[in-house]
Structure formats: structure tokens, C-alpha cells
Amino acid sequence: MAAPPTIPPMESTDGFHPDFNSASAPASPTDHAAPAAPASPDQRTAPHDAQTQQRVHDVLHSDVGVATLLNRLKASIASARDFSSFLKRRGALEEEHAGSLKKLSRLTLEGARKPDTRHESYRTQFEQVLHANERIADNGTQFGLALHAMHENLLQLANKMDANRKTWKQQGLAAENKVQEAERLAEKAKAKYDQLAEDLDRVKTGDTGAGRKFGLKGPKSAAQHEEDLQRKTQAADQDYASKVQTAQTSRKELVTTLRPQAVTALLDLIKETDAALTMEMQKYASFNEKLVVNNGQVISPQPLKGTSAQPPPSINQLIYQINNERDFDEYILSHASNAPLARAELQYVKHPTQALTRSHPTPPGAMSANRRSSIHMQSQPPPPFSMPQTDTNPPPTLQQGPSPPEPSQQATFGTYSQPAQPLSLQPQPQQAQAPQYNNSSFSPVAQNPYSQSDYPRGSGGQATAQQTSGVLYNSTQPPVHPVFGVTLEDLFRRDGSPVPMVVYQCIQAVDLYGLEVEGIYRIPGTSSHIQQMKALFDSDASQVDFRNPEAFQHDVNSVAGLLKQFFRELPDPLLTRDFYSKYIDAARIDDETMRRDSMHALINALPDPNYATLRALVLHLHRVQQSSEVNRMSTANLGICWAPSVMGPHKGNNMADAGLQARVVITILDNVLQIFDED
């Protein structure tokens, strides 16, 4: 069957445009084709929006506008953090479930291959069912990794927006507070001016209660008191006018310059945060849909659009292909060689000396028995050669006896003279181990030491041959020059190239056509296409040339998926199992220089084919990372995507080992030019 279904987050590299709504989503007035960003304001405009927008504009440019926008931005950041935390936990749960399912499938597969369990069609179909579970587990792993990458992107955005919010909070509120303080001082100056003006008016009108009339030298006269109040009133008037002018200038600057700047900046931050959160939620919805669809393709494959090829059998069809009666017959016939030979019927035979004393004619059975006894006595010294002599030279006195019992009696000496009879039953056990499966030959063979996790195709008619767990499906011949599932040492010894041809071709294709493809190595290609290219390399890798994009149908994501699949199917991972724990220990080192030097020493200790292949791969990923502004594949994203492929499944019981695996790859990528020379 096809390679493990993958979880591409988008259908093309131009943007995020999943195409599930047209087929599966229920129709509703708000249904869209999952746009890359929220709909524009023009698309949401209603007849009453002009009045609403004016009211919103008035509030935003009022004294409470900046504070309101700061609170709204804070709420958007909090929502982004909450959804990011959800993605992290959901991704961890998916990876844990996928790991448990894969482990269970492998343990069950090992148990199904034990000699004391049922074989024949039961084992064949059950192995395919278990491989389907492994494919579902692979889907879950890819889904978890995608959610983890989304979590990191959203968390990074939230941290950035939080820092920008603090900056504009300081600037915007400082301008608002400055104006408010100027207006408060103006109000205070006005109150003082009003009070002095009232006191002066009372003095002029002769009011006896118009303030104090005592000075340092004693009571003041009315004229002196009026003159004093006149002077104080003029000073208060000038102070009041100055502060009013200052407040007016500050408010004018606030209204015309500072407040619009703060409002515009905060609006942009809010829209960017909300749009990013909405896009990540759309991605999450699309990933969920594609996870279900791809799992459905594993459970019940459907024909691809535009192709007439018969899809592989579903799990239900695989189960129904178990033939209990045929399995029983084949099991019994496989033991036919152990069954004893047919025995002759036991008969009474008179001793020849006793038979001669009888006067009446000897019965035919006795005569033939006497003849066989005499023959046996004559030919007893050389048992293996006695029977041919007996047949060719019988005693002439006994040739008139009846001959029908002779074959059965002759069978009593089968252990010496008829070894061919057991050989006649040998093809039957072979037939028991080679049942007809969908009118095509199907022959279980010894377990392949380079077992693959591919889910084999079921029904006949598929154009591409696939090999899973050492069993060849839908192909009359094994791969001519197998590349997948073969150790790097064996490939080097056979082909003479330290870097396998499939690695060279895939790197060349991505360098030429995939460096600016968004999500390269994160977005898997089409699984059936990957299997077709895999079969090409297993047949004759020298005939493949990916410099021409038509060789891979212009699908560079499938080429990237083929490269990752090659490393995943290596019997010993690229960084080797022997060094696994040492790489993990090196990843725990906090000092970057010491961590780099430790990994550099481990890389230098790798076998030559592993070192050469790792060097080619890492330098290629360095070129991919240099275009991260376009392809969105940073060092961290590449480390997460490639860690399981080059190190194998993590051995820890939690996600800590997975994070350390990614740190190993990230450290190598960050220091690639110090570890490897680029020439």
C-alpha cells in the first residue's frame, strides 16, 4: 500500500488555502475557503456600519481611547497565549498517543511472526492491518509536530506584541497624563483667580467682609487693601492665562499628533495579533480535517482524482480476505511429510515348512506368501537392493501364484526400497506456504533485516512494487538495486559512493526548486507519488535525474518527503544508535561552545558513509535555513522536523528526549560552518 499518509498544512505554497469546505463542511452563510487572513472590512460592510464606524472612531480618539486599546491588545495577547498553550498540550498528547500506538503495533507484529501463532492468510492480512495502525501513528506524529511548530510561532508573536504594548503604553499614557496635568493646573489657577476677583469686587463695593485688612505693620486701610488685592488679582490672571495656553498647546499636540500615532499603532498591533490567531486556528482546523481524511485513506482508501488505478484494499477488505478453511487445510498439508507411509493390510502367513506337509492344494494367498517369504530370505543380506532382484528373478515354482497382494506386501519394505514416496508429498507443504492472494503470487519469505514501515498494497494491478517487512507485494521480482532499508555501509560497499544517490538527487532537486517553497520539509508530499519515486530508486537509481522537474512532476514537497523517508527507514539511524545517548548528554550542556565541541567530536567519530551523508544533508539544510524569510523554515523548525529522521525514535518516556533530539540538530545547524567545511 502507499506510504504513510502525511499532514500537509496547505495545498499550495502560495498561502493557506485548504480545500475541505467545498467537499465536507456544511454550507452556511459564513463559510469561506479558509482564507489566509480575515475578510477585509469591505466584505463585512453593512448599511449601518458607517454610523458604527464613526462612533468607534470617536471613542478611539477620545480621552479613553488609548487606555481602551491597551486593554483590548492585552486581551488579544492573552487569547493568543491560551491557544498556544492548547496547541502545545494537544501536540504532546498526539505524539504520546502516536508513540504508544506504534509501539503496540510493532510488539503485536513481532508476536504475530512467532512460529507458535497462526500463519498463512491470517498473518499476511493481520500484518497489513498492523502496518495501517503504524501509518495512523505516523499521521499523529506529524500532526503533533505541526501543532508544536504552530505553538512556537504563536508564542513568539505574543511575546513580541507584549513588548510593543509596553512601549506604546508608556508613550501614549505619558502624553495623556501630561495634558491632564496641564488642564488640572489651569483649573486650579482659575479657581485662585476667581477667588481674588470676587474679593476685589467686594472691596470696591464697600463690603466689610472682603478679606483680611491686617498687614505686618498693623491694620491696612481700605485703599491699601484694595491695591493689594488688585495686584494679586492681576498676577493670578496672568498665571491662569499662561496655564490655559499651556494646556491648550498640549491638548492640541495630543489630539493632532501623539494620540493618532498611539491609536494607529495599537490598532495595527491588535489587528496583527487577531489575524495571526485566526490564521493559526484555521490551520488547526485544516490540520484536524486532513488528519481525519488521511486516516480515512489508510482505513478505507479512495481512488485519487484523475487516476484510474484501483485503490488499495481497506482494512475491512483485508480482514475479509482471511480464509480460515484454506488456512486450516494448508496447515495440515504442511505436516504431510511427517505422516507415516501407508501400511499393508496385515495377513496370516503359514510357514513354508508347515505348508509343504499339507496334502490339499495350497491357497493362492499362502502360495504368494510363501513366495514372498522365500524372496525375503534370499535377499535379506542387502536390503536396499533386494527388491529389484526379487522382481526380475522370481522362483519359477511360484510364478503361477496370484499377484494382486504383491504391491501391498512390497510396501512393507518401503523404508528401504521406496524413498520416493515421501518426496511426492513435498510440494504440498510448499503450496501451504504460498497461497494465492488476489490471483497473484504471494510468497512469505524470511524476515528482511532492513524492514520498512510501509503499509503494503493489497489488490493486484498496482504499478509500483512495494516491500514491507521483507514481503514483496504486487511484484513478481524484488528490487534490482534496493536503496531504501539498506544500511549506509552496505550502500557504500555496493555503489562506491559515500553519499547515496537518492540523497544526492533529492538535495539537488530541493536546492534547485524548493528553497523558496514555504514549509519545505514540514509539508509532506503525496504519499502515492513518494512510493512511485521510491520504486524508481529501488529499481535503478542511476536512471533518475531530478535536475529536470518533470522527473518528479514538479512536486518538490514529495521529493522532500522521499528524502526524509529514506533516513527514517535506515536500519541504523544516520547519527547511529551507539552514539544516541552521547548526543542526548551533549544536548543537555548549557554552554553553547562546549555543547558544539562535544557534538563535533561525536560527528568526527561517525563511520565514513554516515559522516559524508550527514555533511551533505546539514550543508543543504543550512542553505534551506538561509531562505527562511521566504520558506518559513527556521533552524528551530528544521530541527523539529528532522530530529526523528536522523536520530530515530526518542527513547525517553516523556517529551524531554524529543526536545533534546531537536536541540542536537539545531546545534549542528547553528554551527554547521564550524563543524563542516563548505568546499
Q: What is the DSSP string of 557-592?
A: HHHHHHHHHHHHT-SS-TT-STTHHHHHHHHT--SH
Distance between CA atoms of 135 and 294, rounded to whole angstroms?
Answer: 9
106-115, 552-561, 632-641: the lowest-pLDDT one: 106-115
How is residue 554 annotated by DSSP?
T
Residue 469 above 70 pLDDT? no
Distance between CA atoms of 461 and 70, rounded to whole angstroms?
Answer: 64
Domain boundary among 279, 299, 319: 299
Residue 520 falls inside a structural domain:
yes
Q: Is 68 exposed, middle or buried (0-12, 13-18, 19+ CB in 10 A)?
A: middle
pLDDT for the residue 467: 33
Q: Average per-residue pLDDT in the chain?
A: 76
Residue 190 falls inside a structural domain:
yes
Domain boundary among 244, 264, 299: 299
Please list the alpha-helical segments (H only) found in 205-258: 222-253
Residue 313 falls inside a structural domain:
no
Using 50, 70 and 90 to split pLDDT, how confident is the model at 557?
A: very high
Output the CA angle 143-145-148, nearest 5 degrees: 110
List of residues 6+ apart from 376 with CB closer than 8 A: 386
Count of structural domains within the chain = 2
Residue 2 falls inside a structural domain:
no
303-307, 438-442, 486-490, 650-654: the lowest-pLDDT one: 438-442
Residue 180 falls inside a structural domain:
yes
Q: What is the CATH number of the domain that holds 90?
A: 1.20.1270.60
Residue 381 falls inside a structural domain:
no
Q: What is the pLDDT of residues 248-263, one digit of tens each?
A: 888 887 788 888 888 8
Domain boundary among 299, 326, 351: 299
Residue 624 above 50 pLDDT? yes
How is residue 358 annotated by DSSP?
-
Higher pLDDT among residues 310 and 210, named by residue? 310
Which residue segment(s) compose the domain that 85 sits in?
56-205+224-299
Distance between CA atoms of 597 and 671, rounded to whole angstroms?
Answer: 10
Higher pLDDT among residues 28 and 521, named by residue? 521
Q: Regarding beta strands 436-437 and 440-441, do their DSSP bridges make them parallel or antiparallel, or are they unpaired?
A: antiparallel
Cell numbers 535377499 correspond to what residue? 379
Is residue 523 within 8 Å of 493, Cβ to Cβ?
A: no
Is residue 301 within 8 Å of 311, Cβ to Cβ?
A: yes
This prediction's pTM: 0.41
Using 50, 70 and 90 to split pLDDT, how confident is the model at 332?
A: confident
pLDDT for the residue 199: 82
Distance between CA atoms of 239 and 219, rounded to whole angstroms?
Answer: 28
pLDDT for the residue 208: 57
Higher pLDDT among residues 555 and 306, named by residue? 555
Map residue 164 onto helix, strand or coil. Answer: helix
Is residue 144 within 8 Å of 94, Cβ to Cβ?
A: yes
Residue 541 falls inside a structural domain:
yes
Is residue 415 within 8 Å of 439, Cβ to Cβ?
A: no
- 197: cell is 476677583
The amino acid at residue 650 is H
Q: What is the pLDDT of residues 606-617, one digit of tens each?
A: 999 999 999 999
Q: Report CA-CA distances (Å) from 53 to 47, 68, 181, 638.
A: 11, 16, 31, 44
pLDDT for the residue 177: 84
**Best-predicted range by mean pLDDT among 115-129, 367-381, 565-579?**
565-579
Sign of CA dihedral 587, 591, 593, 598: negative
Map residue 646 onto helix, strand or coil. Answer: helix
Q: What is the pLDDT of residues 139-150, one digit of tens each?
A: 999 999 999 999
Phi then psi for 475, rounded to 5 degrees?
-150, 135
Residue 153: alpha-carbon gap to chain centroid: 18
Residue 19 falls inside a structural domain:
no
Residue 373 above 70 pLDDT? no
pLDDT for the residue 7: 45
Residue 69's H or E segment, with its range, is: helix 65-112
Q: What is the CATH number of the domain that holds 579?
A: 1.10.555.10
Distance between CA atoms of 552 and 422, rounded to whole angstroms?
Answer: 55
Residue 24 above 60 pLDDT? no
Residue 642: alpha-carbon gap to chain centroid: 11
Residue 329 above 50 pLDDT? yes
pLDDT for the residue 141: 93
In total, the chain counts a number of residues equal to 679
